[in-house]
Structure 1
Amino acid sequence: MDIRNVALDDLVLDPNLNLRDRLDDFTVERYAEAWDRLPPITVYSVDERWLIADGFHRHAAAVMLGKRTIPVEIRAGSFNEALDYVSSVNLFHGLPLTRTERRRAVEVKLKLHHDWSDRRTAEELGVSRELVAKIRKQLIEGAQIPNNPGRVGSDGKLYTTAGLPRDPNEHAPSDKRELDGSEQGRRSMSGAATATAPWDDDAPAARTKNPIADEVHFAGGVDPRIIASQGPIDVAAPSIEELLDVMSKQIMEVVAWTQADGFVDSYRAASSNARGVFHAAVIKLAARADQMRRG
């Protein structure tokens, strides 16, 4: 891992690598206050330029503090690799993305990996598969990505998508495969093959019993299916005092963990990414508490 101090003037803030609509002033101020505890920003070295991929708020905090350099983790790669990294990393740490910014991340990921399945893309970005499918449909209709006949799942295997022409023999029994022209003619003339096969599209649907319509008697006289169709039972919501009590206990448990023997040594041995995620969570909690305190 290549980490070094780099001059702010040597860094490039490419707007195409920033998913956010704007910088949040409050977040910049909080980062400035916690400057010594922040992890390095991430930069991609592309065509002899150092492009910021993660850390726009930290960069702004450095400018606010009058810093000339900033700790940087430098990665080698192409612009698309930097963009691919950006589309994922901002979803899991730092200031949470807005709904519009999350949609932008999905669009970027689909344009770079249009051959991925909706499920794989959703898992990668921590969003719903329905959102991915909706945005994919819009991009396909706008001719921004192709409609791949197959997509790669999380397991790396290629799966064909719905909507492809179906093999007419796909679900036919082994002894009911399509007949050639002469055999089909002979069977039709003899009348032996005139009945519609159950796997044909124009076969009449088999009638099935409706279990709800059947007359069934239950012990006690109450049909559990009627109970299941009714709404949920009202349950009293916890009061704000109860919620605050539970949250306070959880926070104090975390504080107690940090005071346990050996925690500091283990913390220092952890990766910079793990420490950065922890710092970001603490900063967000403190910032939110300060916002509520101010009213």
Structure 2
Amino acid sequence: MPQVHRVSVTRLRPADSPRLAGIDAEHVRRLTETSDALPPILVHRATMRVIDGMHRLHAAVLRGRHDIEALYFDGSPDEAFRRAVQENIAHGLPLSLSDRKAAARRILTADPQISDRAVAACVGLSGKTVAALRRLSGAESAHLNTRIGADGRSYPLDGTRGRLLAVQLIAERPDAPLREIARDAGVSVGTAHTIRGRIRRGETPVPAGSPAAQELRASLTPSAPESAPALSCRAFPEVLRSLSRDPSLRSTEAGRQLLRWLHTQPVLTDDWHHRLDALPAHCTDSVAALARKCAEVWQQIAREVERPKGR
């Protein structure tokens, strides 16, 4: 429980306030007239600046008080400003949209490495709004490779490697907690949750067209020719191994069933001749009919999977 101190009003300095319009006289009057006990103000110990509670301080002075209850905050001036924004959003007289945007710009200028989400959570704006303010304010810096998230951890601006690692970890540990996956992959819990959700829905683990998707495809593409008709017998096992490494298949029951089906008995051109030597004459017609039917079905499957989506 934070310790409450009684502080002389003469020791306190004006707030480094996120309110562009300053003190609201009408709000001070309402506080002066209330009979309810007001909560302690928040003071930056190092500078004795009021972080939160300037309206309460003015009301106390108008009431003739010589001291006021206060809590101390220990941190840098920039941290004190962010705390002031958070406190003013959480209670009391709300900050205007202009106040919150100005606060976001100031935070981005002071700490360009902080993430859009972290700023958004602090000032009560959307991440997209903060990103736009960052571009307009020039707070984007080309030499910065990481951002500091709302959890205080450092995340790379290009999250390709982390996302790919998360895909791999989810495939290897499908039942692992998301926080564990996020920690080991160096991504946010939200990113890990999104990747797992996409895999479970049978979608690509990362959005198509993203750098992570391109690198994922490259890592899973075998050296064999891409088109099915040109697939050589030697490349066949590598194609199966490549499919078996694909987390989109490994992480769903339907995908695992498909892999088991594909592995059941692949027939290659160089291993079936000796098996036919043991085929009795009276069975040839039946085996030939089965082979033709299987070939027909596999041709249908090939045409279906090669058909462009949405047609």
Normalising by structure 1, we get a TM-score of: 0.51
Say yes or no: does 1:2 pair with 2:3: yes
Distance 2:159 2:135 in 1: 13
Distance 1:160 1:108 in 2: 21
Say yes or no: does 1:153 pair with 2:200: no
Q: Deviations over 1:192-227 (max 9, x none)?
A: xxxxxxxxxxxxxx994655xxxxxxxxxxxxxxxx
Is residue 119–residue 130 contact of structure 2 (8 Å, CA) maintained in 1? yes
State the partner residue of 1:44: 44
Distance 1:76 1:120 in 2: 20
Q: Which moved more, 1:144-153 or 1:83-92?
A: 144-153
Is residue 111–residue 145 contact of structure 1 (8 Å, CA) maintained in 2? no
Gaps of 5+ in 1: 178-205, 212-295
What amino acid is the match of 1:160?
A: L
Say yes or no: does 1:175 pair with 2:172: no
Cα displacement (A) at 1:81: 2.4
Q: Secondary structure at the match of 2:89?
A: coil
Q: How many residues align?
A: 177
Is residue 11–residue 51 contact of structure 1 (8 Å, CA) maintained in 2? yes
State the partner residue of 2:92: 94
Question: Aligned residues: percent identity?
Answer: 28
State the partner residue of 1:125: 123
State the partner residue of 1:83: 81
Normalising by structure 2, we get a TM-score of: 0.49
Cα displacement (A) at 1:105: 2.0
> Structure 2 vs 1, CA of residues 35 and 10 (structure 1 numbering), >3 Å: closer, same or farther?
farther
Q: Deviations over 1:13-65 (max 9, x none)?
A: 14x3443422212211111122541101100111xx31110011111112222
Larger radius of gyration: 2
Q: For residues 265-276 of structure 1, what are the structure 2 equivalents within 5 Å? A: none
Distance 2:9 2:70 in 1: 10
Gaps of 5+ in 2: 161-209, 225-305
Distance 1:145 1:2 in 2: 40
CA RMSD of aligned residues (A): 3.2
Q: Secondary structure at the match of 1:151?
A: strand
Is residue 7–residue 68 contact of structure 1 (8 Å, CA) maintained in 2? yes
Is residue 87–residue 108 contact of structure 1 (8 Å, CA) maintained in 2? no
Distance 1:41 1:169 in 2: 53
Distance 2:18 2:101 in 1: 13
Distance 1:207 1:153 in 2: 42
Distance 1:209 1:18 in 2: 51
Instruction: Return structure 1 stretches of 4+ with deviation > 4 angstroms.
Output: 165-170, 206-211
Q: Which structure is higher in RCO with an 8 Å CA cutoff and minimum separation 6?
A: 1
